[in-house]
Amino acid sequence: MEALVERLSHLDSHVEGTIRVVMFYDTLMRRRVDLPALARASAGLAECVAGVRLHGTERVIRFSPDGRETSVPPAPASSTVPITLDEEEIGTVWLERPGPPGPLDEVLLDRLAIAAASVVERYGPARTTMADPALVELVVSADCDEAARARALRLLGFAADLPLRVVAVRSELPLDQLGGLLSPARPVKAASLADVGVILATTVDPTPFPAGVRAGIGAAARPDRAWREARTALRFTTPRRPVVHYDALGALALLAQVPREAARENADVTAIARIAARQADLETLDAYCATGSLRRAADLLHLHHSSVSRRLDHIGATLGIDLTDPAGLIRARLALTTWRLLED
């Protein structure tokens, strides 16, 4: 390779130079080099700094002509060419040549861009957790056609034939840290869409969700349906139940489809709103609905069961529901859950 670079540096014919630049990159592509090797070889050929940037990962690679990756502040690009894959711009290549562009800079960058697109298609983007929100939105959008979704998945580093889990989160931790915890050894990408974090992963272990995180996990195979399910499951999370799998909701998921106005007008939901002003009563009802047992609720609340019993008598009277009756307990659970969905 070094011998070829040396010969190219003495070319007199523009046409011959163009042919040899094309041959140079054809050789690199046959050798299946990676992006750093492409940038390094290009810098040596151009005798100036060469750079590559991928939009999806914000990865920037810059090499100087001496073959070393450079960290000095970049000079203004003398020539720039976009990297395109399947008619979509996925990045940029450039040269930082002092003075005007060289006679072969245009063809050199064209071939570098083609080679870079080939590398991305073959190997996928650099391993990183944070992703371009636009690509993630394409993956989970119900309006996206399947070809565009497959292209976005490939650019994010996911193989089209592998299963994909979709998680909706609200987290006090940065999304990149959370993604690394949930899938430390497998591909994982994260981005923020509006006020909800999105995590895409081939596998998700629910056990390492740290404190301060609420998460809904979709169940569907299609990413757009799984995203809808994950957002629904997120609405059902509580401090006592911070991680909810959509498929564990069963018929409860239907509550998310109840029109808000109809839910607000329901007498049981209105009654829950009244007791919610008293935090102790709300926590007591939540513990009782979660356990279905006076004594287990008392254990959760660290109170004597007689104290919990008195609170429940008062709450039941306020709700107009006999909480000791199984049907009454179901009514209270449904009303409490529906009220929480309204508060989301």
Residue ending a domain, among 201, 230, 256, is: 256
The residue ranking higher by pLDDT, 229 or 152, is: 229
Asked whether residue 319 is assigned to any structural domain, the reply reads yes
Q: What pLDDT is stored for residue 160 in this prediction? A: 67
% residues pLDDT > 70 (the chain)? 91
Phi, psi for residue 243 in degrees, rounded to 5:
-125, 125
pLDDT band at 242 (very low <50, low <70, confident <90, very high): very high
249: confidence class by pLDDT, cuts 50, 70, 90: very high
> What is the extent of the structural domain holding 331?
258-343
pLDDT category of residue 89 using cuts at 50, 70 and 90 = confident
For residue 128, tell me if it sits in a domain: no
Answer yes or no: do 282 and 231 share one domain. Answer: no
Q: Is residue 235 assigned to a domain?
A: yes
CB-based contacts of 55, cutoff 8 Å, min separation 6:
89, 90, 91, 92, 132
Q: Strands 213-217, 188-193: parallel, antiparallel or unpaired by DSSP?
A: unpaired
Same domain, 198 and 289: no
| Averaged pLDDT for residues 22-34 | 88
Burial class (CB in 10 A: 0-12, 13-18, 19+), 16: exposed
pLDDT for the residue 146? 87
Q: pTM of this prediction?
A: 0.64
Q: Residue 28 carries which side chain, given as an amino acid letter?
A: L
Domain membership flag for residue 151 = yes
Q: Domain check: are 265 and 331 in the same one?
A: yes
Is 194 found in the same domain as 161? Answer: yes
Predicted confidence at residue 215, as pLDDT, reads 95
pLDDT confidence of residue 7: 52
What CATH number is given to the structural domain containing 250? 3.30.70
**What is the mean pLDDT of the segment spanning 94-122?**
89
Average pLDDT over residues 110-121: 89
Other C-beta atoms closer than 10 Å to the C-beta of 228 total: 19
Q: What is the pLDDT of residue 73?
A: 80
Q: Do 250 and 262 fall within a single domain?
A: no
Same-domain status, 247 and 278: no
For residue 152, being part of any structural domain is answered with yes
> What pLDDT sits at residue 340?
93
Q: What is the pLDDT of residue 14?
A: 66
Q: Residue 236 — very low, low, confident or very high, per pLDDT cuts 50/70/90?
A: very high
Q: For position 336, what pLDDT does the model report?
A: 95
Indicate whether 12 belongs to any domain. yes
| Same domain, residue pair 251 and 264 | no
**Residues 138 and 246 reside in one and the same domain:** yes
Contact 279, 311 (CB under 8 A): no
166 and 205 belong to one structural domain: yes
Neighbours of 328 (CB within 10 A): 15
Of 5 and 175, the one with more pLDDT:
175
pLDDT value, residue 185: 65
Domain containing residue 332: CATH number:
1.10.10.2840
Closest CA to 111 of 19, 181, 228, 221: 19
Top mean pLDDT of 143-152, 171-180, 207-216, 249-258 is at 249-258
In a domain, residue 60? The reply is yes
Q: Distance between CA 202 and CA 187 in Å, rounded?
A: 6
CA proximity to 280, closest of 253, 250, 256, 310: 310
Q: Is residue 186 part of a domain?
A: yes
Number of domains in the chain: 3
Nearest alpha carbon to residue 231 among 170, 153, 171: 170
Q: Are residues 10 and 112 in the same domain?
A: yes
User: 210 vs 272, which has greater pLDDT?
Assistant: 272
Same domain, 80 and 28: yes
pLDDT above 80 (res 52): yes
| Pair 115, 141 in one domain | no
The answer to whether 1 and 27 have CB atoms below 8 angstroms apart is: yes
Question: Per-residue pLDDT averaged across 144-154, rounded?
Answer: 86
CA atoms lying within 13 Å on the CB side of residue 40: 12
Q: What is the 3-state secondary structure (H, E, C) of the chain?
A: CHHHHHHHCCCCCHHHHHHHHHHHHHHHHHCCCCHHHHHHHHHHHHCCEEEEEECCCCEEEEECCCCCECCCCCCCCCEEEEEEECCEEEEEEEEECCCCCCCCHHHHHHHHHHHHHHHHHHHCCCCCCECCHHHHHHHHCCCCCHHHHHHHHHHHCCCCCCCCEEEEEEECCCHHHHHHHHCCCCCEEEEEECCEEEEEECCCCCCCCCCCEEEEECCCCCHHHHHHHHHHHHHCCCCCCCEEEHHHHHHHHHHHHCCHHHHHHCHHHHHHHHHCCCHHHHHHHHHHHHHCCHHHHHHHHCCCHHHHHHHHHHHHHHHCCCCCCHHHHHHHHHHHHHHHHHHC
pLDDT tens-digit readout, 289-343: 989 998 998 898 898 989 989 999 999 999 999 999 999 999 999 999 999 999 8
Averaged over 120-140, what is the pLDDT? 75
Structure tokens at 250: 């069963």
Which of 103, 123, 143 is the endpoint of a domain?
123
Average pLDDT, the chain: 87
Residue 56, class by beta-carbon neighbours within 10 Å (0-12 exposed, 13-18 middle, 19+ buried)?
A: buried
| CATH code of the domain covering residue 111 | 3.30.450
- Considering 93, 123, 153, which residue would you say is the last residue of a domain? 123
